[in-house]
Structure 1
Amino acid sequence: MLPFGDDAVLVELDDLAQVRALDDAVRAARSRGGWDAVVDQVPAARTLLLRGSGPVEHAALAAAVHGLELGSAHHAVGPELELPVTYDGPDLADVAQATGRSVEEVVRRHTARLYTVAFGGFMPGFAYLVGLDPVLQVPRLASPRERVPAGSVAIADEFSAVYPAATPGGWRLLGRCATTLWDLEREQPALLVPGTRVRFVATPR
């Protein structure tokens, strides 16, 4: 656990499973009271940031984290959404070749899974989805693209995602989705928040 400025502690963990367990445990502890010093928590792939409303006692917060029982944590189950996808991405054939599968099987495997939003980051509305078929876990591109179109459905390593807006990016692009993921006019601008479950549904080209 590392001091992160005067008002936060950054907890470094071994893997995403530990992050999710600790994130759930902190949320449960905050709901029971006694964690008033923490006003926000930000999970990522290997870290959990705990922020206070002002300066925090780093040692006391670290001790409180160490005292949590992670075994009793349960991941919150959110709503289930279907995202229609046209599978015609520029990296679809390359992913098929890299995995030794046909394009049709790559699509079938990508649509067969139920994904869960583990955390958000990178840009507003960008959600890191866990649950990707191990066969489809391929590395990022060696050289990122200067521009990835909004709505691009992508995979990289253990994650799948949909780009909410046009941006540079190095993920492998499988297709495109027309669903709006980030809208400031909505009460909750991000459509995909942690805990949300997602199914990708193939649509005709």
Structure 2
Amino acid sequence: MLRAGDAALLVEAGDLATAHRLNAALRDEPLPGVVDVVPGEQTVLLILDPSADVDALAARLPRLRLPENAERDAEPVEIPVIYDGADLDEVADLTGLSRDEVVRRHSAASYTVAYLGFSPGFGYLTGLDPALHVARRESPRTSVPAGSVAIAGPYAAVYPSRSPGGWRLLGRSELRLWDVTRDPPSLLRPGTRVRFVPEGPA
């Protein structure tokens, strides 16, 4: 556990599952003085009220009861996908697989949101089939449409809003991942399980 400035603590959880469990515990039973909780892949950052007793909070954290399952066996979020992405053929070439097999492997996997980052509601999803681990594009696009379903390295993702990006685009979804009129705005959160459901041709 490390101090992060005068009003924050960085907890090194050690692995993704423990980070999710700690995040769930702090979400379900907020500690006095904790203003926000920001989970990472293997860390959890606690943003504190400037008046909080940092040492007292640090002493309480190891005594927290962590849930066995961060999402309590919640059903996975299903994301419908039309697999017509601009990079689908290139991913097939890079992996030595057919278009159909790329789609089959991408949609057969069970994903978990490791953490959110890059832009509001952008979830980094673990669980991608190792056969589909491909590098980002050498030249990022200046504009990727909202709803684009993409992969890069060991992660899968859906772009929640139009933005620049260098991930390989496999398809698109009409599901809104980020909506400021919704509470919470993000459909995904760390620990959420995700499934991609094919709705269109490969």
Alpha-carbon distance in 2 for matches of 1:150, 1:32? 34
Structure 1 SS opposite 2:6:
coil
1:200, CA displacement in angstroms?
Answer: 1.1
1:22, CA displacement in angstroms?
Answer: 3.3
Tell me what 1:11 maps to.
Answer: 11
Alpha-carbon distance in 2 for matches of 1:158, 1:121? 15
Tell me what 1:137 maps to.
Answer: 133
Alpha-carbon distance in 2 for matches of 1:3, 1:59? 10
Task: Please state if 1:187 is matched with 2:171.
Answer: no
1:185, CA displacement in angstroms?
Answer: 1.9
Task: Please state if 1:200 is matched with 2:200.
Answer: no
Is the contact made by 1:43 and 1:119 (CA closer than 8 Å) also made in structure 2? yes
Alpha-carbon distance in 2 for matches of 1:45, 1:103? 30
Alpha-carbon distance in 2 for matches of 1:176, 1:139? 19
Structure 2 SS opposite 1:128:
strand
Q: 1:156 to 1:62 in 2, by over 3 A?
A: farther
CA RMSD of aligned residues (A): 2.6
Alpha-carbon distance in 1 for matches of 2:20, 2:193? 17
Identify which range, 76-85 or 120-129, moves more after superposition. Answer: 76-85
1:151 counterpart (140, 147, 152): 147
Is the contact made by 1:141 and 1:172 (CA closer than 8 Å) also made in structure 2? yes
Alpha-carbon distance in 2 for matches of 1:8, 1:138? 36
Tell me what 1:28 maps to.
Answer: 25
Q: 1:8 to 1:115 in 2, by over 3 A?
A: same
Which amino acid in 2 is paired with 1:48?
V
Alpha-carbon distance in 2 for matches of 1:81, 1:69? 26
1:105, CA displacement in angstroms?
Answer: 0.4
Tell me what 1:105 maps to.
Answer: 101
When normalised by structure 1's length, the TM-score is 0.82
Q: 1:27 to 1:104 in 2, by over 3 A?
A: closer
Alpha-carbon distance in 2 for matches of 1:29, 1:117? 17
Tell me what 1:84 maps to.
Answer: 80
Consecutive unaligned residues in structure 2, runs of 5 or more: none
1:195, CA displacement in angstroms?
Answer: 3.2
How many residues align? The count is: 200
Which amino acid in 2 is paired with 1:75?
A
1:178, CA displacement in angstroms?
Answer: 1.2
Which amino acid in 1 is paired with 2:128?
L
Identity of aligned residues (%): 51
1:50, CA displacement in angstroms?
Answer: 1.1
Which amino acid in 2 is paired with 1:159?
Y
Is the contact made by 2:23 and 2:44 (CA closer than 8 Å) also made in structure 1? no
Q: 1:192 to 1:27 in 2, by over 3 A?
A: closer
Consecutive unaligned residues in structure 1, runs of 5 or more: none
Is the contact made by 1:21 and 1:73 (CA closer than 8 Å) also made in structure 2? no
Is the contact made by 1:23 and 1:41 (CA closer than 8 Å) also made in structure 2? no
Q: 1:84 to 1:23 in 2, by over 3 A?
A: closer
